[in-house]
Amino acid sequence: MRNEDDAKDVFQEAFVIAFQKMEQYKFEGSFEGWIKRIFINKLLETLKKRKKDVLFLDVFDTDIIEEEELELVAIDQEKLLEYIQELPDQYRMVFNLFVLEKMKHKEIAKLLQISEGTSKSNLNRAKSILKKRILVVLNCKIA
């Protein structure tokens, strides 16, 4: 979500759903995976209800910056989270699912009903945007 209040609302609603459906958990597989699925589904449902058309670009431009080895630089965690929240919805969702939730592109593609290539492209674009933003803040030149 773009702001903390919306995130808290979705979190609370997902917890209520999980609590109400607790008897449906059959102790097969991890509880963490079961509850994570509820939270992700609630988030996607909320975004759809807001009628925010989340467009997933199925374009493979040549301007995607390849990952390079960069000197590690310290950046404030809150600032980094702010930059992530400012990403376009389609990039932010794929970035969060891949980086924070450790999902594979195949899982992300299935969940968001996009192709694996689109998932990879959106992740690369998110990384590129974040990289540029961090370099600008650090007063570095972007090649």
Same domain, 75 and 116: yes
Same domain, 29 and 73: no
Same domain, 95 and 123: yes
Same domain, 16 and 86: no
pTM given for the model? 0.59
In terms of pLDDT, which residue wins out, 7 or 1? 7
The whole domain housing 143 covers 59-143
pLDDT number for residue 105:
94
Same domain, 38 and 75: no
The answer to whether residue 56 scores a pLDDT higher than 70 is no
Same domain, 46 and 104: no
The answer to whether residue 80 scores a pLDDT higher than 50 is yes
- State both tokens at 119: 């998932």
Same domain, 1 and 64: no
Mean pLDDT of 8-29: 88
What kind and span of H or E run contains 128? helix 116-137
The answer to whether residue 61 scores a pLDDT higher than 60 is no
pLDDT range class, residue 52, cuts 50, 70, 90? very low
Number of domains in the chain: 2
Look over the chain and give the mean of its residue pLDDT values, rounded to a whole number: 78
